[in-house]
Amino acid sequence: MPYPTDRERDRPWVMRTYAGHSSAKASNELYRRNLAKGQTGLSVAFDLPTQTGYDADHQLSKGEVGKVGVPIAHIGDMARLFDGIPLAEANTSMTINAPAMWLLALYVSVAEDQANAEGRPVDEVLAKLTGTTQNDIIKEYLSRGTYIFPPGPSLRLITDMIAWTVHHVPKWNPINICSYHLQEAGATPTQEVAYALCTAIAVLDAVRDSGQVEPGDMAKVVARISFFVNAGVRFVEEMSKMRAFTALWDEITRERYGVTDAKARRLRYGVQVNSLGLTEAQPENNVQRIVLEMLAVSLSRGARARAIQLPAWNEALGLPRPWDQQWALRMQQVLAFETDLLEYEDIFDGSHVIQAKVDEIMTGAREEIARVQDLGGAVAAVESGYMKSQLVTSLAEYRRGVENGERILVGVNKFDTTEPSPLQAEGAKAIETIDPAVEKEAVAALEEWRNQRDNDLVERSLEKLKLTAKTTDNLFEATLACARAGVTTGEWAGALREVFGEYRAPTGVSASAMTGSGNAELLRVRDRVKATGEEIGERLRILVGKPGLDGHSNGAEQVAVRARDVGFEVVYQGIRLTPEQIVAAAVQEGVHVVGLSVLSGSHLEVVPQVVDGLRAAGAGDVPVIVGGIIPPDDAKLLTDRGIARVFTPKDYELTDIMDGIVSLVRERHGLKES
């Protein structure tokens, strides 16, 4: 997106809608409709099996296929996803991380096929490809959880991909360093800026030191590094954050990497405004939240986003419908085309108030960057658990403010009286639902694909991939060969799992600071936990589990922290567990309650499996509770299946939840209510 160099009207940013579900065919139809409505870029949401390198028929994929995005298993799926959409003219953002190299190889292969079908030179088409692969694995270890490999091999995949794209797809952004999820995990503006820039330093150092890019080409690398940030509702602070971000990026790239071209040093970023701040209670309030958050990244011309995607008002309820996504797109279009926003120079230049806030964030970010570098850099700070524990502690402090009323959420902890909503009236079908048949169809299609491809070629390409992975050679060409041979997502990731191994990131729970220790209600519940344990004859134990592939662990971690604060012994093993693993841990640890967290929509499939497993193991008296984005009808189905309690985002008082859990344990053990 060109930047203006004079006082002419600024060009509108790229307008995206994060979308994809069910199948490549269904998602292609959705993309075409969105483009026809004036959307100027695509933003592909992949389902969790694709994001974590599994095929639809893997055990961990059960209940997850097509739920939070589109399943892409092979080049045939990628071709269907972009059928009728010329990739040389598209601007595509792909939210993909651990298997980013694989998905870009599929995308490039489809672009090559389109070029051949049109009789155009392949190099000419590849030179025109624009868009981004998120490809930020550091924040996956810290917040979103869709990592696969250990940090070292993961950084190698990123390095190889950047080196390949600089030489072959020069307009593509091979990495979109993503501070968005850091904010959702609790990062303050200072932490969000600092940790994102620490990731950028780790990546740029790795590319520079790999020898795959000539020193004189580092400016080309820097120019293709983009960022993806979060914008919260405190829009003055958020806008100041982006001005600080812009100044620090310019400073780092000039001083650390010697980039003299001012254009190459510009902070190029896209935005998804804060989905974490959307509420289940009075969800219509989310509309004004989204608009205010959009202002944070559009008001300041010198720090304006070049791509924006907005969530829909009902994302805290479930999957948005096409109409909801259209509403979010129209918000952007009204701001860009009806207002005079784009007609002026930066309206905040010269504001001493704004500059003071910018200076405050920059000073704090410099200090935190130095602290991380002293620890050995971003990778070392992930492996030690430092950054994760800082985020868990910050989020706990944020939640404390919500619970005690210091931080007001309209419709949640203040002004919570409401009229019936016509947007959620009976029969309105306020969210999109995914047909359970989608998963069966995906598994059947996968089997058919494997039967009709050249499996000898597949085996040879996978063997070549593994051999290359054992060297220091660039992995992208071997990955391209796998894509063209018809290898599946699970097979590509599985081959690299054999060489690199898998990784489980630190949870940050044990190292997080205790919050609210002097709170009277928390002390009362702590006394109940202690007394109940004494009556039962042992300390109360709770297992907090994340079944399936949902890696959004913020809620589970906060439950674990609060359970520890009120005196429970907490068993928390992190993300991506099978129901069988959760049952085994619950039985082995002799827990008194099992708490499950599911935000991906797979609750109806994976949660009952835990209940059935406990019964089969002779532990059917252990109550199971669940929290997540769970529609009311689904909540009733879960309670009918034996789930003791269901909590949703409207249940924000964690200490009250702990109190209810104590009562549940007492009830199951036949104790009188205390």
Coil vs helix vs strand at 278: coil
For 14, phi then psi, to 5°, come to -70, 130
Question: Which among 54, 180, 195, 652 is annotated as catalytic?
Answer: 180
Is 550 an active-site residue?
yes
- Is 336 within 8 Å of 295 (Cβ atoms)? no
> What secondary structure, in 3-state letters, does 517-562 show?
CCCHHHHHHHHHHHHHHHHHCCCCEEEEECECCCCCCHHHHHHHHH
Beta-carbon contacts of residue 459 (< 8 Å; ≥ 6 apart): none
Catalytic option among 21, 128, 139, 181: 181
Q: How many CB atoms lie within 10 A of CB 536?
A: 14
Task: Catalytic residue, from 550, 565, 634, 659: name it.
Answer: 550
Q: How far is CA 216 from its chain centroid?
A: 34
* 180 labelled catalytic: yes
CB 429 within 8 A of CB 456: no
Strand 569-572 and strand 593-598: the pairing is unpaired
Q: What's the helix, strand, coil split of the chain in %, to 5?
A: 50, 10, 40
Distance CA 273, CA 293 (A): 6
Any catalytic annotation for residue 181? yes
Per DSSP (E only), the strands in 117-210 are 130-133, 172-173, 175-178
Give which of 273, 279, 265 is closest to 292, Cα–Cα.
273
Active-site option among 58, 388, 546, 592: 546
Active site residue 18: yes
Q: Residue with structure tokens 């694909």?
A: 449
| Residue 295 φ then ψ, to 5° | -60, -30
CB 103 within 8 A of CB 72: yes
φ, ψ of residue 83 to 5 degrees: the values are -60, 125
Q: Catalytic residue among 552, 592, 634, 659, which?
A: 552
Distance CA(252)–CA(468), nearest Å, equals 33
- Angle at CA 667, nearest 5°, toward 662 and 672? 95
| Cβ atoms 224, 272 nearer than 8 A | no
Catalytic positions are 18, 180-181, 546, 550, 552
